[in-house]
Amino acid sequence: MRPLHCLIADIPQAVLVDIVQRVAEESENIKVVDRVSDLSQLPVILASQPIDVLIIGMKKFMLPQICTDMMEKFSNLLVVGLVNDGRKAAIYLNEISSGEVADIINMLGRR
């Protein structure tokens, strides 16, 4: 099975970007394929290579419109939003099934 291809985008704190990349790369199941500082680059990057997971910086718990647009275009894209300093996160999935909801609850609810 190929690793999940991950894109890190628009996280303003350089230290947080480095931590996210290091943690992701410590897993053999995740490959960070790129880091970008500007969300306007998303359409080109997502169209040019397979991205499974988008990790973005967020100031609030609101998904930026460009991410919503990209989730509509790339329906399997998982978006993980790290809020402020990264101690809070929001997970966004498109077209989620009831089985996936149960899996998420079971996986994250037992942490």
Q: Looking at the predicted structure, is the pLDDT value of residue 48 above 90?
A: yes
Domain ranges in the chain?
Answer: 4-109
Query: 62 pLDDT band (50/70/90 cuts)?
Result: confident
Cα–Cα distance between 35 and 66 in angstroms, integer? 17
Q: Looking at the predicted structure, is the pLDDT value of residue 110 above 80?
A: no
**pLDDT (0 to 100) of residue 7:** 94
Cα–Cα distance between 2 and 83 in angstroms, integer? 29
Pick the CATH number of 4-109 from 3.30.750.24, 3.30.70.270, 3.30.950.10, 3.40.50.2300: 3.40.50.2300
Give me the chain's average pLDDT, please.
Answer: 89
Measured between alpha carbons, how far is residue 4 from residues 10, 25, 31, 32, 85 in Å?
Answer: 19, 11, 6, 8, 24
